[in-house]
């Protein structure tokens, strides 16, 4: 019995030792640009949302980290507004706090227009049909926006939380 207990203790020590050293992660810094590699091993730059600012009761200015394809950036169905407090979306929100994004709950051109600011290719103004309710917290979620000339992208471009003014 003593022999088995001894083997058990040694096994536990070895597993603990292995767990400690296998948990070390070595990360190499990248140049700050977001990129992905698709199934065909093609690397593609992905624009990311870096800033959101409410300009007026019904306008939000968004800034990407690089120039984007204008048609994908101005497509309303590439954007979602989630209520962070309400289960059922209200006001400008198309998602409740527990909802997941899909094509059926995206913004539409009936709800928002998206235009580049001063002919910019990385700053856009979202003008909503309805006003953003003051004090209401929302999350803007962006997906599928690409850089000029890039193939389609099926991921997200970031999100930002904002409180209506």
What is the set of domains in the chain, with CATH numbers? 40-163 (2.60.40.1220)
The pLDDT value given to residue 13: 61
CA dist., res. 47 & res. 143, Å (int):
10
Whole-angstrom distance between the N-terminal and C-terminal Cα of the chain? Answer: 72
Residue 16 neighbours by CB under 8 Å, 6+ apart: none
Q: Are 105 and 95 in contact (CB under 8 A)?
A: yes
- Stated as kind and residue range, the H or E segment containing 15 is helix 2-22
Looking at the chain, the whole-number percentage of residues with pLDDT higher than 70 is 75
Work out the mean pLDDT of the chain and round it to a whole number. Answer: 84
Higher pLDDT residue, 87 or 23? 87
Q: Is the pLDDT reported for residue 40 higher than 80? A: no
For 158, half-sphere exposure in the C-beta direction (CA atoms, 13 angstrom radius) is 16
CA dist., res. 42 & res. 152, Å (int):
12
- Stated as kind and residue range, the H or E segment containing 7 is helix 2-22
Q: Is the pLDDT reported for residue 140 higher than 80? A: yes
By CB atoms closer than 10 A (0-12, 13-18, 19+), residue 8 is exposed
Higher pLDDT residue, 24 or 61? 61
CA dist., res. 64 & res. 127, Å (int):
17
CA dist., res. 50 & res. 152, Å (int):
21
What pLDDT, in 10s, does the model give residues 82-136? 999 999 999 999 999 999 999 999 999 999 999 999 999 999 999 999 999 999 9
Q: Are 64 and 148 in contact (CB under 8 A)?
A: no
Q: Is the pLDDT reported for residue 22 higher than 80? A: no
Q: Are 124 and 97 in contact (CB under 8 A)?
A: no
The pLDDT value given to residue 29: 38
Question: pLDDT band at 10, cuts 50/70/90?
Answer: confident
Question: pLDDT band at 37, cuts 50/70/90?
Answer: low
Q: Is the pLDDT reported for residue 21 higher than 60? A: no
């Amino acid at each position: 019995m003593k022999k088995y207990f001894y083997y058990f203790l040694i096994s536990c020590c070895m597993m603990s030792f292995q767990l400690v050293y296998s948990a070390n992660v070595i990360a190499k810094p990248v140049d700050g640009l977001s990129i992905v590699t698709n199934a065909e091993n093609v690397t593609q730059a992905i624009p990311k949302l870096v800033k959101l600012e409410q300009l007026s009761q019904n306008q939000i200015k968004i800034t990407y980290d690089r120039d984007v394809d204008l048609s994908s950036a101005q497509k309303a169905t590439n954007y979602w507004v989630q209520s962070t407090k309400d289960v059922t979306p209200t006001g400008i929100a198309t998602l409740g706090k527990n909802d997941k994004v899909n094509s059926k709950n995206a913004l539409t051109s009936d709800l928002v227009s998206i235009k580049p600011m001063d002919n910019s290719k990385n700053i856009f103004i979202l003008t909503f049909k309805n006003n953003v309710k003051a004090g209401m917290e929302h999350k803007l979620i962006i997906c599928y926006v690409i850089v000029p000339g890039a193939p389609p992208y099926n991921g997200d471009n970031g999100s930002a939380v904002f409180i209506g003014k």
